[in-house]
Structure 1
Amino acid sequence: MTGGRRDDAALVLPSAGPDPIPLGTALAAVLGYARGRRPLFFRSPSAPHGRWFQVLAYGFDRFDGQPPETADRPTDRDVLLAEGLHGRLDPVGWRAVRTDLDEVWPLLGDLRARAGGRPFWELPDDEFSVLAEPGTAGAVLRSLTDRPTARHVVAALHHRHPSLVPLVDGVTRRQLWGHLREGDSGPEACISREVHANAAAFARLETATATLLGRPVTRLRLHDVLVWLAGSLRMTHAVAVGRALAAESGLEAALAR
């Protein structure tokens, strides 16, 4: 802390763990998540005895790397994009997600109207307090996530509005739950506090990430990546892969800043 304000050289995210995350470590983790690969043994007609392939370790290219759907209503492609992050659905599950997207679409309109063009991280604390309900952003988000299909539905809506709809799944929800306070409308209240408290550091991370990856990634998604990596016990792997990729590309200095 400097001058009563949080230093922008590290992220203090209780939902990701008790220790601050230096900005270079966070950037390495995001780079590892976005570009990291893992070996996969695969048999095919042309290689019946099998071969090792290097495949993407995480879902960044299948999800964040895809252009958003532009139709003004839900489409089948929204479900396909959500599958790119969370995995394939069986036919029954696929239809359930598609049906729920149609059902929650008016709620998305309510959320956008409530935000009034502001991104998630500019919404005031009252938007995530039960004391200010009904009609708050937090109340709308709770309606979106209070359903069995929430993981894929929220992923589809986040892809449409990456600056407004936070990603919350089973892993991140468990990480966030222990940090909720009395009166919070849901896990999104914890996300709001953490992105507010680390605004300067997230602004730096957004800029550095866009430079390294060649595309912008919102602080809402960056927060999700860091919390998910910590909660799924993949943080160490992602950081190591990110640092190795930076070394191969001569970008070590970018991780040191």
Structure 2
Amino acid sequence: MVDPAIAADAVLVLPSAGPDPIPWEDALAAILGYACARRPLRFRSPGVPEGRWVRVPAYPWSRFDAAGPSTGPDGDVLLGEGLHGRLARDAWTDVHDALARVGSRVDETVLRAAGRPLWALPAEEFSVLDEPGTVGWLLRGIGAAAGAHPGHVLAALHHRHPALVPHLTRTTRRALLPHLEEGDSGVEAVVRRELVANAGAFAALETAVAETTGDAAPTRLRCHDILLWLATTLRWAHALQAGAGVGVT
């Protein structure tokens, strides 16, 4: 259960998402909205040629966050598609090849982390002064080798290693870049700092999201990603409204 003191008083200070602190209850409601919001879609079929309205998930929670573990390389690509949309045949091959290409570096990253999640790693792991061989250096190399569809690749890798490999898109990466500090190995350092600075609030978010949705338990790394994406793509208000009526069990 979530500590009532967290729910009542905590805020998240996420400079990458904007200048204003985010009340903890708003952060929870936004993630729950991401999980449960629906949108109308006009659907036509041979049996109903005139068409009818149906309500479909507004966000890819069910296709990605609530999806089971990958069953192999093909399954990894499908998970990437679940979050970022279908790929053409040549793009599918590009993502498949990129996942194979970064496989050894991902294994090195897991070995270097030694079972620790990204937010528990020391700051030195994300400093250029301690390169090469650090987690930050390895993650930067994974991003550089991710090919023409890095969002799909990083989505698959995050689903495989949800506490260690951040999921980044062009939009969220741009939001993180202005917050780099001298010596940072990459934007992953910014993500780590924000997770560390808001450790209690994110720990409570992990618990509350898992308890309320019942179908997925995203790590605080994924919670950060969802909050940042909603804030930087102007979807915050919609997700917040959709999740405001969902109570914590």
Q: Which TM bucket (shorter chain)?
A: over 0.9
Q: After superposition, where does 1:59-208 map in structure 2 within 5 Å?
A: 59-69=60-70, 74-146=72-144, 147-208=147-208
Distance across 1 between alignment mates of 2:9 and 2:213: 21
Q: Kindly report structure 1 stretches of 4+ aligned residues shifted beyond 6 Å.
A: none
What is the TM-score of this pair, normalised by structure 1?
A: 0.90
What secondary structure is seen at the aligned counterpart in 2 of 1:127? Answer: helix
Report what 2:15 is aligned to: 14
Distance across 1 between alignment mates of 2:190 and 2:47: 51
Could you tell me the percent identity over the aligned residues?
A: 56
Distance across 2 between alignment mates of 1:149 and 1:179: 24
One-letter amino acid matched to 2:79: L
- Residues 133 and 227 (structure 1), Cα distance of their counterparts in 2 relative to 1, 3 Å cut: same
Distance across 2 between alignment mates of 1:67 and 1:223: 21
Distance across 2 between alignment mates of 1:55 and 1:108: 35
The one-character-per-residue Cα deviations of 1:87-120 (angstroms, maximum 9, x if unpaired) are 1110000001001111100011100011001011
The one-character-per-residue Cα deviations of 1:158-207 (angstroms, maximum 9, x if unpaired) are 01110111110111111111111111111101000000000011111111
Q: Aligned pairs, how many? A: 239
Greater alpha carbon shift after TM alignment, 144-153 vs 229-238: 144-153
One-letter amino acid matched to 2:41: L
Report the aligned-residue RMSD.
1.4
Report what 1:57 is aligned to: 58
What is the TM-score of this pair, normalised by structure 2?
A: 0.93
Instruction: Identify unmatched segments of 5+ residues in structure 2.
Output: 1-7
Distance across 1 between alignment mates of 2:29 and 2:16: 19
Report what 1:4 is aligned to: none
One-letter amino acid matched to 2:199: A
Distance across 1 between alignment mates of 2:81 and 2:148: 15
Shift of 1:148: 2.2
